Structure 1
Amino acid sequence: MHLTLGTRGSALARTQSRQVADAIEASGAARGDEVTVELETITTQGDTSRASLVGLSQTGVFVAALRDHLLEGGCDLVVHSLKDMPVGEHPDLELVSIPVREDVRDALCSRGATLTGLRTGAKVGTGSPRRAAQLRRARPDLEVVDIRGNVDTRLARIDDDLDAVVLAAAGLARLDLSEAVTEFLPVDVMTPAAGQGALAIEIRRDASDELRDLLRALDDADTRAAVTAERAALAVLEAGCSAPVGAYATVTGAALRLHVRALDASGSLQLNEVVTGPVAEATRLGRTAAHALLGRGAARLVTKP
């Protein structure tokens, strides 16, 4: 079986897509099938625009072009960073597999200073309103700078005009750049984005059962349950990439624990909700946590005035 996998052109996207392709080929070999996976690079609006992500279409800016190419039959499957995907189901596409999640944490990269050790008024770069709000809450004196660009471009700014940048630990690990990390930020300081660290494999709903079965072998049940709860909360809060909302679930045996955090842009106001329950009720737990936050006024924090 020869498959074409659609991917964004960034170094990180191609690296994580190649990792998925290798896993698919290995899964096929374990079943006694010869499977080859070829990467096809697709340019997205998020790759070509130099505007702030906050000024773009927010949720799905890196996803739409990949999905269009898949629907047109240009490739057999696509790989997304799950945190970039819209939370609603696509009528013609299936999220067939979510492999084992990487490190969910955010990472501070600096010249050596930790978050608490940064100088007063230090400039810290991030393109994420969620990270920005939590940075301001932890260190109100910091100057948070909105940045764009690939991982190497962002890291280079530490030696240029910034004191530090905050990036996803998973992306740095996949690029073998973990040595650039000064501090892995604890999840109680920097609650991750829903789905952070996870990848998503998407196919057309009319794909063959042979392809579906091959890809489902890569699905990790615990990861899927955790991100299902996180994304269910995000859907109720109607919070996309522009909202300072974090959601992080863990699975222990048959139990799931979900922490959802909503902040205002300044980080001065914060609401937290923690729920626990059966893994089988991941969607309900996510919705329960989000409705509890809405009942406490979260809509005023996550909605732009």
Structure 2
Amino acid sequence: MSAPTVTRPEAPAHAVLEIEGVSRWFGNVVAVNDISMSIGTGVTGLLGPNGAGKTTLLHLMAGLLQPSRGSIRLGDAPVWRNPGIYASLGLVVDREDTYGFLSARELVEATAKLHRLPHARAAADRAIAMVGLGSAADRRIATYSKGMRQRARVAAALVHDPAVLLLDEPFNGMDPRQRLELMELLQRMGEAGRTVLFSSHILEEVEQVSQQIQVMVAGRLAASGDHRAIRRLMTQRPHEFRLASSDDRALGVALLGLECVSGVELEPPGLLVRARDYGAFTRALPPTARSAGVRLYQVLPADESLESVFSYLIEGGQ
């Protein structure tokens, strides 16, 4: 007997999320501040440091939170107070909320039944195979590694074959092989015409998977574009370095002669150097120090945290 056909819920004609002037506050805390964007088919990365508001925005997109201001639509339908959208939308939240006493197969099959799929077992088997959990599908989730638990939750979100998939930090806890496999799965889904949006605080993850990137910081949209445009914004911003050498004063004088250096400050215990171009400065520093007869003891980027990078974008660097 042939396997039963897995039917797919009807998706909207245009599986596009439209976010218009959306804000969300909790008391006096503004978590999302006046964000507008359009998410089309393919893979989009939502990039930002921890605390930027990415999770709140994803919950707003999924209809789990009501906007304090603005609106969100999936195709022609509002997402808030509209359970019908879940026939074509899947969500993987960052918080681990699976029942450890269930197997992955039981979890995914139960999710299929909640979606009222006619062949829940076949749909569960298909979703489990998509995430590569087939050999461990009947083990209790409590025995899984964090990466395996994450894949089980992704399978549950995929079981009804959604046209739109939202994932909050989906690569957390995965080893390199698991991360690569999930990246390839998301890419295939995007190439098949689905709308995939995932959040991350790691630029390299987003670059490898996404056609478009939306950058958030402090609840606001800081930049938007393809990964090449975002990378240029980040690398062309001013950079600061802290240097320690055998003769800081002589080194500072030599560095001021470089076109890529915009300022030098002599401060204990060394130099604070502001550079216009990260790559040009790091290439020019060793020969400049050598020509000045100075030995370098320490070279540390002073402002390479994600917060400083994204803050530059939102403070006018774009």
Q: TM-score range by the shorter chain?
A: under 0.3
TM-score (norm 1): 0.22
Larger Rg: 2
TM-score (norm 2): 0.21
